[in-house]
């Protein structure tokens, strides 16, 4: 676990990385609320960029086109809503298909570089909780606390299934499981900022934890690091 930059003059950051559908977004948002910190859902940036590419007819393999687009788009967060060039896209970017497209463009190093400062710009007082795949390794390597939040693939697929059914969508558990495993493999195998558990990150396996227990654990680690 990192007790990182307590002496630093930069606002504190809690970096929460982990695989798809691990619940890290829910935990990160609740930790941020509890501490009165800002919250960054970095996956939403990749999802919105993939959506912008789709709208603009830029191929997911066209790295230069993606970089140009990433520099041009206007992105704004308001609670769970995400505005892409002024239009609410929160629902469209959170589908399984949008997640797959985000994971594909996220493997492009030049695109990641183009989105780096945009993410760092969320670091404001009194602090930031951010979740993603490379929050602790690349975006905020000096984070005050780094957490690797995961759960078994079966448990993650079940959670995603329940979420989709509750929202009134069709879902197939075995397809979801396969999809999650494919996406994790792509996010972990890429050369640019792969998903990894860092040596200085605290492991939080939520397979048999409630959301409240996971949130309490992160808050305890953070406060212990402050002592
Ligand atoms: O966290 P998420 O499922 O919303 O992220 C969607 C995809 O975006 C994920 O499969 C990989 C990519 N991503 C990334 O490469 N780096 C991040 N910091 C966040 C997301």
DSSP states of 148-201: EEE--HHHHHHHHHHHHHHTT----HHHHHHHHHHHHHHHHH-SSS-----TTS
Name the average pLDDT for the chain.
Answer: 93
Hey, which residues does 14 pair with through a beta bridge?
Answer: 129, 145
Q: What is the pLDDT of residue 7?
A: 53
Strands 81-84 and 75-78 turn out to be: antiparallel
Q: What is the pLDDT of residue 227?
A: 67
In a mutational test of the pocket of ligand 1, which residue from 97, 102, 135 has the highest number of ligand atoms less than 8 Å from its CB? Answer: 102
Q: Does 47 contact ligand 1 (Cβ within 6 A)?
A: yes
Q: Measured in angstroms, how far is the CA atom of residue 40 from the centroid of ligand 1?
A: 12
Query: How do residues 45-86 score in pLDDT, each as one tens digit?
Result: 999 999 999 999 999 999 999 999 999 999 999 988 999 999
Instruction: Measure the CA–CA gap between 216 and 30, rounded to whole angstroms.
Output: 10
Q: Measured in angstroms, how far is the CA atom of residue 210 from the centroid of ligand 1?
A: 23
How many C-beta atoms surround the C-beta of residue 148 within 10 A?
A: 22
Supply the DSSP symbol for 139: I
- Homologous superfamily (CATH) of 13-222 is P-loop containing nucleotide triphosphate hydrolases (3.40.50.300)
Cis peptide before 196 (omega within 30 of 0): no
How many C-beta atoms surround the C-beta of residue 185 within 10 A?
A: 13
Where along the chain do its domains lie? 13-222
Residue minimizing CA distance to atom 10 of ligand 1: 103
Instruction: Measure the CA–CA gap between 165 and 163, rounded to whole angstroms.
Output: 6
Query: How do residues 141-184 score in pLDDT, each as one tens digit?
Result: 999 999 999 999 999 999 999 988 998 888 999 999 999 999 99
Q: Measured in angstroms, how far is the CA atom of residue 151 from the centroid of ligand 1?
A: 16
Q: Does 43 contact ligand 1 (Cβ within 6 A)?
A: yes
Query: How do residues 93-135 score in pLDDT, each as one tens digit?
Result: 998 899 999 999 999 999 999 999 999 999 999 999 999 999 9
Q: Measured in angstroms, how far is the CA atom of residue 175 from the centroid of ligand 1?
A: 19
Q: Does 19 contact ligand 1 (Cβ within 6 A)?
A: no
């Amino acid at each position: 676990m990192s007790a990182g930059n307590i002496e630093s003059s930069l606002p504190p950051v809690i970096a929460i990385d982990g695989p798809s559908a691990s619940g890290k977004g829910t935990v990160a948002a609740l930790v941020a609320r509890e501490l009165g910190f800002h919250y960054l859902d970095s996956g939403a940036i990749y999802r919105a960029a993939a959506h912008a590419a789709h709208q603009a007819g830029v191929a997911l393999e066209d790295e230069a086109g993606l970089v140009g687009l990433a520099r041009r788009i206007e992105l704004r967060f308001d609670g769970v809503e995400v505005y892409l060039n002024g239009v609410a896209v929160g629902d469209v970017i959170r589908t399984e298909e949008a997640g797959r497209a985000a994971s594909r463009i996220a493997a492009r190093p030049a695109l990641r570089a183009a989105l780096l400062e945009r993410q760092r710009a969320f670091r404001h007082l009194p602090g930031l909780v951010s979740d993603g795949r490379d929050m602790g390794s690349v975006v905020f390597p000096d984070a005050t606390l780094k957490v690797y939040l995961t759960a078994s693939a079966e448990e993650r697929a079940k959670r995603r299934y329940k979420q989709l059914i509750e929202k009134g969508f069709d879902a197939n558990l075995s397809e979801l499981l396969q999809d999650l495993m494919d996406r994790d493999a792509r996010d972990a195998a890429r050369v640019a900022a792969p998903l990894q558990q860092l040596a200085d990150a605290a492991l939080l396996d939520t397979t048999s934890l409630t959301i409240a227990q996971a949130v309490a654990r992160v808050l305890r680690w953070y406060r212990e690091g402050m002592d």
